[in-house]
Amino acid sequence: MFKKILVVFITKEHTEHTYETAFEIAKKFGSEITFIKYIIKPPPKFGFFETKGEKKQHEIELREAQVTLGHLEELAKKEKLSVESKVLSTESFAEDLISYMESNKVDLIIVDSHSLDEAEEAEHKDLIHKIFKNISCPFLTLK
């Protein structure tokens, strides 16, 4: 039923609940799990040019996300689950995610949504709605 599960981390902090839910579903259905963490590339502060500081900060965020996902891969492999992880830099999260899902024939998407302040929550709701409108597979949002 759910051969390909995509777990997308939107928030900076990840709870065990998100990946443990993915692990449980994968065990039940013999699914492959792909963890994706999108790092939003902020627009340059000075018009069209990124400063060295902006580039360095973005690279740090990418490395930190890779370490986090590497830890989740290790946990999944201990559970004998088929897992892959990707850290992707993007300017347009929703469009990139929808495109990824279409090209990889995802059967279930799981998205984290905890620890959001009011501004982030409004943006998150818009993002979830945009994704939901454009996909055809089941969509699970976890707090």
Domain ranges in the chain are: 4-142
36 neighbors 100 (Cβ within 8 angstroms):
yes
* Helix boundaries (H) for the chain: 16-29, 52-78, 93-104, 118-134
Count Cβ atoms below 10 Å from residue 14 Cβ, excluding itself.
21
Q: What pTM does this model have?
A: 0.86
Q: What is the dihedral of CA 37, 77, 139, 116, to 10 degrees?
A: -40
Residues 6+ apart with CB under 8 A from 86: 34, 35, 36, 37, 69
Residue by residue, pLDDT tens for the chain (143 residues) are 899 999 998 766 667 888 999 999 999 999 999 999 988 887 777 767 777 888 899 899 999 999 999 999 999 999 999 999 999 988 888 889 889 988 999 999 998 876 556 656 677 677 778 888 888 899 888 77
Q: Which CATH superfamily is domain 4-142 in?
A: HUPs (3.40.50.620)
